[in-house]
Structure 1
């Protein structure tokens, strides 16, 4: 019999997982995203954050790679990110 976690996701926890948040280019956007994720993953490792600007410079994407411990943790992170007015999209 499969446990409940297996039926909800194909991921096996713990696992490395990249979270991307996109928004308008403005000072502090990347720091805001990192702080929101750090609320759920306090031990982010060095090099976990990468930022990339769009070709025209109007948009920025921030990718944070975490060691995810559960689907509930990922769901909570995505809920926080998508609820924030400055985050246009989270993947």
Structure 2
């Protein structure tokens, strides 16, 4: 039987435990602009070289103003994820990173 306490309460502040390396989806929400897609690819190439481009999912909002881009990378550690999130948020096209 799995240890649910270990899976849900891994640290003192109840943050979930992530075992690295692992497949990690990153969703970027922003303006429907070709620059958003270019920026996301550039960031992923920098911090997760060799990520599988076939795992990119792009979805437009109903009115076409916004776009979500989901990329699955092999995350190697918390510093890598922090760098990716920080770099993505530096783009004026990016509204949110999940």
Same fold flag (TM > 0.5): yes
Taking structure 1 as the reference length, the TM-score comes to 0.84
2:61 equivalent to 1:54: yes
Measured against aligned partners, the alpha-carbon deviations of 1:50-73 in whole angstroms (never above 9, x if no partner) come to: 100011111001100001000110
- Which is greater in Rg? 2
Q: How many correspondences in the alignment?
A: 86
Bigger RCO (CA 8 Å, 6+ sep): 1
Cα distance in 1 for partners of 2:50, 2:64 equals 30
CA-atom RMSD, angstroms? 1.6
Match of 2:87 in 1: 80
Contact 1:9 1:71 in 2 (8 A): no
Cα distance in 2 for partners of 1:84, 1:29 equals 8
Match of 1:29 in 2: 36
Cα distance in 2 for partners of 1:38, 1:9 equals 27
Unaligned runs of 5+ in 2: 1-9
Cα distance in 1 for partners of 2:53, 2:88 equals 21
Q: CA deviation at 1:21?
A: 0.7
Secondary structure of the corresponding residue to residue 31 of structure 1: helix
Instruction: Could you list the structure 1 runs, at least 4 aligned residues long, displaced by more than 4 angstroms after superposition.
Output: 6-9
